[in-house]
Amino acid sequence: MQARAPLMAEHRLINKVVGLFKKKMEIMKKNKKADVDFIRGIIDFIRIYADKTHHGKEEDILFENLDKKSMEEKDREDMEELIQEHRWTRKKVKNLEKALEKYAGGEQKSINDIIENTEKLVEFYPRHIEKEDRGFFLVSRKYLSQQEENEMLKEFKDFDSRMIHEKYEAFQKKLAENI
C-alpha cells in the first residue's frame, strides 16, 4: 500500500465535514445568525483532525522524508506551498474562533467575520486537497521506495495513536486553568 492512501482517506472525511460547514454557512448568511456549538465543533475538528492529525502526518512524516531527497526544484516549491497553506488555515481558524467568541459574548456584528472566515476555509480545503490528491501526492511517489512507504505507514499509525491522548491531556490542562 502507498503511504498516501490513509492521507487520502482522511481527505474524504475533511471534505465531507467542510461540505456540511458550507451548508451551514449558507444558512448563516440567510439568517444572519451563527450556530455557536456547531462552529465550535468545526473548529475542534479542523484543529485536532485536519491540522494536528492530518497536516501533522503530512508535514512531520511525508514531507519530512521527502525533504531529505534531492527533489526537483518544482516539486520542492510545490511542497513548500502546501506547508504555507497549512499555516494559512491556522490563522483563519484563529480568526474564526475570535469572531465566534465575540459573537457568543453578545457582539452581533461579529457574524460578518464568522461568515468571511468560514467562506475562506470552505473554499480552501477542497482546492488544497485536490492539489495533493491529483498533484503532489502522485509526483512524490517517484522519490520513495516501497520500503520507505511501508515505514511511513507504520509511523502514521504511531502518530495517530498519540492524538487522542494529546487531545485529552490538553483538555485536562484547560479544565485546570478554568476551574
Q: Which residues bind Fe ion (CB under 5 A)?
A: 58, 132
* Residue 83 Cβ vs Fe ion, minimum distance, rounded to whole Å: 8
Pair 122, 22: CB distance under 8 Å: yes
Q: With respect to Fe ion, which residue has the nearer C-beta, 47 or 58?
A: 58
Q: With respect to Fe ion, which residue has the nearer C-beta, 121 or 132?
A: 132
* Chain-centre distance for alpha carbon 29: 24
Q: With respect to Fe ion, which residue has the nearer C-beta, 58 or 92?
A: 58
* Residue 132 Cβ vs Fe ion, minimum distance, rounded to whole Å: 5
Q: Residue ranges of the alpha helices (H) in the chain?
A: 4-31, 36-44, 56-57, 64-67, 73-104, 111-131, 137-140, 146-178
* Residue 64 Cβ vs Fe ion, minimum distance, rounded to whole Å: 13
* Chain-centre distance for alpha carbon 134: 18
Q: With respect to Fe ion, which residue has the nearer C-beta, 132 or 152?
A: 132
* Residue 135 Cβ vs Fe ion, minimum distance, rounded to whole Å: 11
Contacts of 68 (CB under 8 A, 6+ apart): none
